[in-house]
């Protein structure tokens, strides 16, 4: 494995990105507090070219239109008669700069439009104004240009004996993420096999019942990192 050296980390954290920096709440009757809502909005990736903007800090602490910020209007509402057993998020984003030439083909919006911000009960609503600004990751994590990564050791499932026919079919169904499959070994017989070892989470669901741990061993491949 290779780790990013400290100087490289500093370079990455100084790459400019766009994120919601200021949130002006007009109405919030949801169960999410304004502070938590603003934090969640700040972590939503914004689809816009940072090169079209200037840093907020070098211009003014005042929120302006261009070139240092973009306004996004968020309105979410749940009808008062809507059943609480059928909760649904009503979300609409509109940018005050979509009509400008710079943004006519690429309107400023979240990278994915189906990101859930809040789920409302009957009559609850959120109305706010969010300002997208340019900054770097060293200022706040919301401007970080990278994502969290994880790693793990490659799982290894070993059959201590052949599991065939009806017993194999029962065993394959035990795994909720379909790690195992059936292979034809001739003469109308089938055998359980490990088809997708990389998706195995070592949950041990397949050997949870008494006696199955004597037929199957859950191990890891030392030195093989995913």
pLDDT digits (tens, 9 = 90+) for 54-91: 776 544 443 333 344 455 555 555 444 433 334 444 44
pLDDT, tens digit, for every residue of 86-114? 444 444 454 444 445 666 666 777 777 67
* Domain definitions of the chain by residue range: 6-143, 153-225
* Whole-angstrom Cα Rg for the chain: 26
Mean pLDDT confidence for 116-135: 80
* CA angle, residues 103, 108, 79, in degrees to nearest 5: 130
Give the DSSP letter of residue 55: B
Structure tokens at 101: 């030439």
Residue 32: its pLDDT value, please?
85
Structure tokens at 60: 């003014």
Closest by Cα among 40, 50, 71 to 134: 50
Mean pLDDT confidence for 172-193: 90
Tell me the CATH class for 6-143. mainly beta
3-state secondary structure 110-154: ECCCCCCCCCCCCCCEEEEEEEEEEECCCCCHHHCCCCCCCCCEE
pTM: 0.53
- The residue whose two tokens read 């799982």 is 155
Residue 25 has pLDDT above 70, yes or no: yes
pLDDT band at residue 11, thresholds of 50, 70 and 90? low
Mean pLDDT confidence for 193-221: 89
Residue 181: its pLDDT value, please?
92
pLDDT, tens digit, for every residue of 32-41? 899 998 888 8
pLDDT band at residue 8, thresholds of 50, 70 and 90? low
Tell me the CATH class for 153-225. alpha beta
Residue 106: its pLDDT value, please?
66
Mean pLDDT confidence for 186-194: 90
* Phi–psi pair at 144, nearest 5 degrees: -70, 130
Mean pLDDT confidence for 140-149: 81
Closest by Cα among 61, 95, 90, 86 to 76: 90
Residue 119 has pLDDT above 90, yes or no: no
* CA angle, residues 145, 128, 89, in degrees to nearest 5: 80
Question: What mean pLDDT, rounded, does the chain reach?
Answer: 75
Residue 180: its pLDDT value, please?
93
Give the DSSP letter of residue 167: H
Residue 76: its pLDDT value, please?
53
Is residue 129 within 8 Å of residue 95, measured between CB atoms? no
* CA angle, residues 181, 182, 186, in degrees to nearest 5: 155
């Amino acid at each position: 494995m290779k780790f990013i050296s400290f100087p490289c980390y500093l370079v990455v954290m100084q790459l400019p990105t766009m994120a919601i920096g200021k949130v002006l709440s007009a109405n919030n009757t949801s169960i999410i507090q304004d502070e938590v809502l603003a934090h969640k909005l700040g972590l939503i990736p914004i689809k816009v070219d940072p090169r079209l903007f200037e840093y907020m800090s070098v211009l003014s602490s005042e929120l302006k239109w261009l070139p240092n910020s973009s306004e996004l209007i968020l309105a979410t509402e749940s009808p008062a008669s809507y059943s609480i057993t059928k909760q649904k998020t009503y979300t609409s984003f509109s940018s005050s700069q979509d009509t400008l030439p710079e943004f006519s083909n690429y309107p400023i919006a979240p990278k994915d439009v189906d990101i859930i911000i809040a789920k409302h009960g009957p009559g609850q609503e959120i109305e706010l104004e969010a300002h997208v600004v340019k900054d770097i990751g060293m200022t706040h994590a919301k401007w970080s240009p990278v994502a969290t990564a994880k790693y793990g050791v490659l799982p290894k499932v070993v059959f201590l004996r052949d599991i065939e026919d009806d017993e194999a079919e029962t065993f394959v169904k035990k795994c909720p993420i379909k790690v195992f499959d059936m292979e034809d070994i001739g003469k109308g017989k089938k055998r359980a096999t490990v088809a997708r070892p990389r998706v195995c989470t070592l949950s041990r669901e397949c050997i949870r019942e008494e006696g199955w741990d004597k037929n199957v061993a859950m191990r890891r491949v030392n030195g093989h990192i995913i």
